[in-house]
Amino acid sequence: MNVHPQSNSNCTGKDRPSALIPIEAEGFHAFADGFALDGQWVIFLSIAGHKDAVKAIRATLLTNNWLNVGIHEVCLLPRTKYRTSVKALPSGIVHTAIFIKNDLGQAETHYTLTARQDFTEADLYFTALIRHSAVPVHSGWKTWLHKRAVQGNEVETLTAHGIHGIKISLDDTSLAEDISTALKKGKLKTVFDNASLLPFSKKSSRI
């Protein structure tokens, strides 16, 4: 495997195919081809290497111990559910992905990730609203919605390599009120006929 030096800058989905980043935990070594971090907390981590090393690193992380991913010392977010997938490759290398499980029904903080090179942060934020918000939104509002979130400190870019990710803080009541105000002032195109955004259903909708 060829390992290229890691940059200190955040990588986005616009980057070329990822370099492999070294991972170390308790003397075991493997590589990451993609990760997303919220500070020191793992949101997504893709690990590849010898099966024994990958197994040991995975166990280290899942038992809430720290490991080194390039220049980052990381751990799982406390009191948070994670999912894992494991796949043995024909070459004999084992690949494991560890990723946070968003709680669709309770949390007000959500994470959205993509490996698509053509996705902007506004695209990601709109996708997050579709998945997690009960407020009806229109694709034509995408730029306005993202600008509103940035100004309100409701969206944050994750430290990432090989993928692109954001963290959003969601308040449906505030979002619906701001959209209603913008519609009344003519800042947004009216696309919902004779319908109020408040109260709104518990099911997301998109046009």
| CA gap 128, 135 in Å, rounded | 12
Judgement on whether residues 95 and 114 belong to the same structural domain of the protein: no
Q: Which of 78, 100, 122 is the last residue of a domain?
A: 100
The two tokens of residue 184 are 């009344």
Contacts of 104 (CB under 8 A, 6+ apart): 131, 132
Judgement on whether residues 27 and 76 belong to the same structural domain of the protein: yes
Judgement on whether residues 84 and 130 belong to the same structural domain of the protein: no
How does the average pLDDT of the chain come out, rounded? 84
Give me the residues of the chain with pLDDT under 50, please.
1-17, 193-196, 198-199, 201-207
DSSP string, 139-193: GGGHHHHHHHHHHTT-EEEPEEESSEEEEEE--HHHHHHHHHHHHHTTSS---ST
Judgement on whether residues 26 and 92 belong to the same structural domain of the protein: yes
pLDDT in tens, 132-176: 899 999 999 999 999 999 999 999 999 999 999 999 999 999 999
Q: Residue 135: which domain range? A: 109-184
Judgement on whether residues 32 and 83 belong to the same structural domain of the protein: yes
What pTM, to 2 d.p., does this model score?
Answer: 0.80
Identify whether 91 is part of a domain.
yes
Domains: count for the chain? 2
